[in-house]
Amino acid sequence: MSATNREVILGIGGGIAAYKSADLLRRLQDFGFDVTVVPTPASLNFVGAATWEALSGHPVTTQVWENVHEVRHIKLGKNADYFIIAPATADLIARLAIGRADDLLTNLVLASEARKMVVPAMHPSMWRNAATQANVATLRARGFLVMEPDTGRLTGEDFGPGRFPETQKIIENFLGFIGIEQDLAGKQVLVTAGGTREAIDPVRFIGNKSSGKQGIAIAKAAKRRGAHVKVVVANVLVQEIPGIELIHVESADQMLEALLANFDSCDILVMAAAVADAKPTIQANEKIKKNSFTQIDLVPNPDLLAVLKDKKGGQIMVGFAAETSDLIASAEKKMDAKGLDLIYVNDVSGGAIFGEDQTEGMIILKNGEVVANGKISKDTLANSLLDYALKQLG
């Protein structure tokens, strides 16, 4: 198993549906999976290795005889978290069922303990054939998820079960198989991430230590669970997250503008960003010379959540509180003042948490319930916050 739980091997069998797996590969990447493609030699008649290399960003080999010194079948197999074999032809299913290892893909399947899903695509007569059905039953008995093919028109004039299912259906089956429910499908999730910067002059600003990791983790988790996700990002080094809309801002005022434009249409707002509480009264157009750089006058920034509280309809609002003392009492006060439905409070005494992959704190619900988490990853917290938010959304 890999450290990220996101390594997928996409096995391609030698059927015409191979071209449809190019779309499947792209959508898997949208969900944050790192996909390595392993085609059977026969499948290269339909889609060539160059296509898979370009789309996946990884080298593509089909035989164990290539790059022998790397012992590729063992290395790839060890790193893989999941296999999706799509399309799987009758021949490939037969080879998998009897445990053949006559190309790289079948070697990998034998050598890896990762969970495996098979998406058959073939002529209806081949699908219905007793031999294929027995092979499918064997794979299912061994724990493979073998999808049922769709029924419809095949490449020629024929009609029946054997069509490669739509990408969306394959993705839903896969996410369900690996335990990611699509419970946020149809929901709009708006997240803020990072820390605002308030300009003093063209080169200086007042900022904070937020890395944006928690907000980005929430956005990705929501996306994996089927939500439509927008993230207002402030000063985080992230250019693109496939499948997620990023709105880049610098300052608290710009963040408020982006939130006001997107709040009405969202179901859940998660304010993970650290917003500067004040900004310089004057933002100098020219760099201030050091002799005159002696004092900065400040005016408060708007409290963004408090502004949104007045516009709140049925939305669930999730806030964060960074505290150094009186954690629960201070967080409850914020929850009330900002119209929040739940708040995650963490102890930032000593600058802890910022930039880390782990977090430690408490989730406080509107009914006063306090859920204390030990040290958990920001990904785990992301899912936990989304669970509570969804429960309150009803």
Catalytic residues, by residue number, are 208
Cβ proximity of 388 and 365 under 8 Å: yes
Binding residue (CB under 6 A) for ligand CTP from 121, 268, 322, 382: 322
Cβ proximity of 346 and 353 under 8 Å: yes
Classify strands 370-377 and 358-365 as parallel, antiparallel or unpaired: antiparallel
- 367-373 long-range CB contacts below 8 Å, 24 or more apart? 368/332, 370/328
Closest CB 338 distance from ligand CTP, rounded Å: 6
Cα torsion for 191, 376, 210, 354, to the nearest 10°? Answer: 180
Q: Interaction with ligand CTP in 235-254: which residues (CB under 6 A)?
A: 252
Length of the chain: 394
d(CA 331, CA 323): 8
Closest CB 275 distance from ligand CTP, rounded Å: 4
Q: Interaction with ligand CTP in 5-34: which residues (CB under 6 A)?
A: none
CB under 6 A: which stretch of 89-97, 239-247, 283-291, 297-305 binds ligand CTP?
Answer: 297-305
Closest CB 370 distance from ligand CTP, rounded Å: 17
Q: Which two tokens stand for residue 322?
A: 């960074």
Binding residue (CB under 6 A) for ligand CTP from 304, 342, 353, 390: 304
Cβ proximity of 165 and 147 under 8 Å: yes
Q: Interaction with ligand CTP in 177-216: which residues (CB under 6 A)?
A: none
Asked if 382 is part of the footprint of ligand CTP (rule: CB under 6 A), the reply reads no
Helix crossing, 21-30 with 49-56: angle to 10°? 10
Closest CB 231 distance from ligand CTP, rounded Å: 13
Q: Which is nearer to ligand CTP, 303 or 387 (CB)?
A: 303
CB under 6 A: which stretch of 112-120, 129-137, 150-158, 318-326 binds ligand CTP?
Answer: 318-326
Cβ proximity of 258 and 194 under 8 Å: no
Binding residue (CB under 6 A) for ligand CTP from 13, 39, 120, 319: 319
Q: Interaction with ligand CTP in 254-283: which residues (CB under 6 A)?
A: 271, 273, 275, 277
d(CA 84, CA 32): 15
d(CA 57, CA 95): 28
> How many residues of this chain bind ligand CTP (CB under 6 A)?
15
Residues that bind ligand CTP (CB under 6 A): 252, 271, 273, 275, 277, 301, 303-305, 319-322, 334, 338
